Amino acid sequence: MAKKDTEIKVEKSLVPLEKYLESGVHIGSKYKSGHMRKFIYKIRNDGLCVLDVNELNKRLSIAAKFLAQFEPSDILVVAGRNYAQKPAKVFAETIGAKYIIGRFIPGTLTNHMAYKYIDADLILISDPRADRQALKEATIVKIPIIALCDTDNNLANIDLAIPANNRGRKSLALVFYLLAREVLLERGEISSREEFQFEQSDFFSSQDFQTRYART
């Protein structure tokens, strides 16, 4: 008998399970890489892979704890896909990190003479495929890499994978919303989750959000 999404149980969930499910964070693609197989909960009758929400929930907490150990200005957030750009920008601004949305200019992390050179100690990317140039350069300069990874992504050179639907508007908004909240909580900038001033909707992308390049 196939496992139903409603049968999922999440320990110490950062949000009610229904919030994860309605945002579609667990819905992957019809393709799965060998690397991501361990994060797949089941394959639906229509062929779509379903990610393990427990792993997502756990790794969001781990990522937040890790990010909180770095100076905000030493963190770089990169998002090339349209739906990832606004949530990544709002996340970066909320925690005080640098960000690049849209096109990642080659040499940004590796060429000290480049006009837009950025010195970072940690990078968070929204999609290893869409952000492959950033991933490549972060690997060259040997800084830790956190990545949102869908079922078809390759985990080569990624230090911490967060298994999630990294293409959906609601999914990306929820993931970056939770990361922002948990980072501030870990830093002690808020004393409870109820103090967080944002809603998931504040991280929603819109079709008119087309900024090509930005950073702080």
Residue 165's CATH number: 3.40.50.10490
133 falls within a domain: yes
Overall average pLDDT of the 116-143 stretch: 97
**φ/ψ of residue 60, rounded to 5:** -65, -40
Name residue 135's beta-bridge partners: none
211 falls within a domain: no
| Count of residues in the chain | 216
CB 35 within 8 A of CB 154: yes
Number of domains in the chain: 1
212 falls within a domain: no
Structure-token pair, residue 115: 């006009």
Task: Give per-residue pLDDT as tens, 47-87.
Answer: 889 899 999 999 999 999 999 999 999 999 999 999 999 99
Would you call 164 exposed, middle or buried from its count of C-beta atoms within 10 A (0-12, 13-18, 19+)? buried
**φ/ψ of residue 78, rounded to 5:** -125, 135
8 falls within a domain: no
Mean pLDDT of the chain: 90
Domain residues for 147? Answer: 13-203
Task: Give per-residue pLDDT as tens, 159-196.
Answer: 999 999 999 999 999 999 999 999 999 999 999 999 99
CB 41 within 8 A of CB 53: yes
Q: Is 28 helix (H, G, I), strand (E, B) or coil?
A: coil
216 falls within a domain: no
Predicted model pTM: 0.90
